Structure 1
Amino acid sequence: MIIEERPWDDPAGVRLRAAQVAELDERYGGEDHEPGEAPSAGDVDVFLVALDDREPVGCGALRRLDEHSAEIKRMYVTPHARGTGVATALLRALEERAAARGWPLLRLETGTEQPDARRFYEREGYRQIPLFGAYEGSELSVCYERTLS
């Protein structure tokens, strides 16, 4: 597996994010499941694509929150690649890039209908926190954070 930093508008990344949105639309029964501002090329600092045998199988991004923290956005692994270590490798690569930029605190939002994602982040050392920023008041959001060592 290879993890590459790519531009936000990279075609493989666009396809992966579209697949993620379709899956979330299905889980939540519609399109209204993302509070806050959607990430864009203008505010994403890091975008990674995981490739297995040259096939894009996952992605993840970092969006800076402030001087010392960033938010993990658009973590996604294709269904056939789940359970193979892609998500863990992507998360570690994002954490390494955050640390290199001086962002020791990572936060993220996932949803109430994503128990698999919640288990994954908890297993990887993220702890549940009160809803932050645009997620405050959302009935669909669950937020986590981890301080990198």
Structure 2
Amino acid sequence: MRITVDNVQSKDIIELLTFHHENMFSLSPPESAHVLDLEEMKDPSITLWSVWIDEELAGCGALKELDKGHGEIKSMRTYPKFLRRGVASRMLKVIIEEAKLRNYRNLSLETGTPEPFLPAQKLYQSHGFEYCPPFASYVEDPYSVFMTKVL
């Protein structure tokens, strides 16, 4: 498994992010789907990584700087073919380490509440994230949960 900093220009990463975007909108109402589109993913405050198994794209994850002490995990996605192979856990470790290198005090995220999001919540909990109130510009929403990890 190889993890590398990426951008939103290759065909492979565009297809994965498009799949992710469409899936998020299929699981939550539009006002509750906080997934970034391809243009938003190009923002300089966001670092994107891709995860490769052999020469095949298996997943991705991103870190958005909210301010000098706070980062947010965005666009964590594993292709279904690669589920339960440690892709998300490895990606999450890379993001946590990068957040520490940047001297963030907190690393936070928003994820969904419907059943398909429960594995993601369990993954984040297993890496020390705890439920928290909404952060940044998020508001209470029955389709969202918020989690944070003090670094």
TM bracket, shorter-chain basis: 0.7 to 0.9
Gaps of 5+ in 2: none
Q: Give the aligned partner of residue 147 of structure 1.
A: 150
Matches of 2:104 and 2:97, distance apart in 1: 10
Gaps of 5+ in 1: none
Alpha carbons 2:24, 2:35 under 8 Å: kept = no
* Correspondence 1:33 to 2:36: no
How many angstroms does 1:7 deviate by? 1.7
Q: Give aligned-pair identity as a percent.
A: 27
1:92-143 deviation line (CA, Å, top 9, x unaligned): 1111111112223100000111111111111221000011223213221100
1:42 counterpart letter in structure 2? D
Matches of 2:150 and 2:23, distance apart in 1: 29
Q: Give the aligned partner of residue 19 of structure 1.
A: 19
Alpha carbons 1:72, 1:106 under 8 Å: kept = yes
Q: Give the aligned partner of residue 120 of structure 2.
A: 117
Alpha carbons 1:8, 1:44 under 8 Å: kept = no
The aligned runs of 1:1-149 (5 Å cut-off) are 1-28=1-28, 31-35=30-34, 39-113=40-114, 114-148=117-151
3-state SS of paired residue (2:84):
coil
How many angstroms does 1:37 deviate by? 6.7
When normalised by structure 2's length, the TM-score is 0.87
How many angstroms does 1:8 deviate by? 3.2
3-state SS of paired residue (1:134):
coil
Q: Bigger CA drift: 8-17 or 91-100?
A: 8-17
When normalised by structure 1's length, the TM-score is 0.88
Matches of 1:25 and 1:35, distance apart in 2: 9
1:48/1:137 CA distance change after superposition, 3 Å: same
